[in-house]
Amino acid sequence: MKFYQSLAFTETDQLAALAPIVEEVGFHGAFVSDHLFHPQRFASKYPYSEDGVPPFAADTEFPEPWSAISAMAAVTSKLVFSTAVYIATLRHPLEVAKAVSTASVISGGRVSLGVGLGWLREEYEQLGRDFGTRGRRLDEMIEVLRTVWAGGMVEHHGEFYDFAPLQMSPSPTGVVPIYAGGASDAALRRAARRCDGWLGSGNTPEELAVILARLASLRKEAGREGKPFEAVVAVTVAPEPDLLRRLEDQGATAVVSYPLVYTLGPGTSVAQKRRALERFGDQVIARA
């Protein structure tokens, strides 16, 4: 079982100091999150809370993910990085391909792309992107990204994206895994049939048993059960060793530790965060 630390909502100027600590205490990787801005008023409901209110405010920091990942990669040697999740369909796939491939080269191949559709309609509307077609666009975008990342002169002619032969350099260092977030059946189908993994956003052990079984069934239907697949779970109870073993038996390959602001509160120092990370390393990673 591998462990990831979510650095969502972390102060931007602390990321480069925290990444070596995350690596030092035994985490396999780190996640960053993504929003371009926070509207002053919005009607969209956050899907992961009972009241529909997101767990962040207008002044919560969301640094540009690939800049942040590149900075953290420069001060680490083994830690891998992913987005959880990147709202890729707010951008053109060529922009996404360029940002991710650059981070891949800078990190020596230590990046993956975790994608999701996003829930904030107002973010799409401000950028002139269609909210209703974002699922179909993401499916096509995944195809475009893999085509462009393969290197050489390539072209694409699809429903949403169309371009004549072009070459993007630099190409990524090795294969960039693509993980899909979301717990809807459409999201699980996307993860199982098109992607290299699935990212959970917080579930009970009982919910995870159902989700992991569904992923296994979908992957078998698609003839992909023999391919590598990263199933990163976020569990809503204490990650005890027995529970982690059960999750691993059910198909989970990694566990994500919740953002530090959830356990420490806002405005904490690097030293305070170090102590929290060391506790997790001693009490969870070492015991697993």
pTM: 0.96
Task: Show the domain range for 63.
Answer: 2-285
E strands along 177-242, which residues? 178-181, 197-199, 230-233
CATH number at residue 269: 3.20.20.30
HSE-CB for 200 with a 13 A CA cutoff: 28
What pLDDT was estimated at residue 207?
97
Band of residue 50 on the pLDDT scale cut at 50, 70, 90: confident
What the block records as the tokens of 178 is 């693509």
What the block records as the tokens of 42 is 């919005």
- Model confidence over 211-248: pLDDT tens digits? 999 999 999 999 999 999 999 999 999 999 999 999 99
Q: How far apart (Å, rounded) are the C-alpha atoms in residues 167 and 280?
A: 44
Domains held by the chain: number = 1
Q: How many helices (H) and strands (E) does the chain have?
A: 10, 10
Band of residue 5 on the pLDDT scale cut at 50, 70, 90: very high
